[in-house]
């Protein structure tokens, strides 16, 4: 029996590298580096080796999702703006076989911009965690742990 931790990806889309600086009244004061460290710690407590990545380049995100699909790696995904319009992200998520949890720091359905009320990720997600701030990432990892435990 292997003692290796199960790999999990936490993938963050455009502008999330600016956490702590960009609209802190909506997204809080935690930086992306601080979020990454929290996710690694939370994941370790659940038996996961968490790899946290952020990109402003859609092709990178698609490549990461495709690799996760090929390797059966669970994903916690905050696709940010791509959530609302990227059919490339939709198609990449459709290929995932391991749990996919959609994460949003704010609650898109409560935001005034109507475009934020549509998600191309949700149809493929095991669960959606929204409006819980940075703690939503912890909950997303817990959902993945529960789903893997049920498998």
Task: Count CA within 13 A, CB hemisphere, residue 122.
Answer: 12
CATH numbers and ranges of domains, the chain: 6-150 (3.40.50.9100)
Confidence (pTM): 0.92
Asked if 23 and 16 touch (Cβ cutoff 8 Å), the reply is: no
Query: Is 2 marked within a binding site?
Result: no
Distance CA 14, CA 79 (A): 7
Q: Which of 44, 90, 104, 137 is catalytic?
A: 104
Question: Edge to edge, what strands does the sheet with 6-12 contain?
Answer: 48-54, 6-12, 75-78, 100-104, 127-130
Using one digit for the tens of pLDDT, what is the confidence trace for 101-126?
999 998 776 676 766 668 999 999 99
Asked if 29 and 20 touch (Cβ cutoff 8 Å), the reply is: yes
Distance CA 8, CA 54 (A): 14
Query: Is 119 marked within a binding site?
Result: no
Q: Is 104 a known active-site residue?
A: yes
Query: Is 56 marked within a binding site?
Result: no
Using one digit for the tens of pLDDT, what is the confidence trace for 1-28?
345 789 999 999 999 999 888 877 777 7
């Amino acid at each position: 029996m292997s003692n290796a931790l199960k790999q999990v990806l936490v993938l963050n889309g455009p502008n999330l590298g600016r956490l702590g600086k960009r609209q802190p009244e909506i997204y809080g004061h935690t930086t992306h580096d601080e979020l990454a460290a929290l996710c690694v710690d939370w994941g370790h407590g659940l038996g996961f080796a968490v790899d946290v990545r952020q990109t402003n380049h859609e092709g990178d995100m698609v490549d990461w999702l495709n690799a996760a699909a090929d390797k059966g790696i669970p994903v916690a995904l905050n696709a940010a703006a791509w959530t609302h319009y990227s059919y490339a992200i939709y198609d990449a998520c459709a290929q995932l076989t391991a749990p996919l949890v959609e994460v949003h720091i704010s609650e898109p359905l409560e935001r005034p911009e109507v475009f934020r009320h549509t998600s191309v990720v949700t149809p493929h997600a095991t669960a959606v965690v929204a409006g819980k701030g940075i703690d939503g990432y912890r909950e997303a990892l817990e959902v993945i742990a529960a789903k893997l435990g049920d498998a």
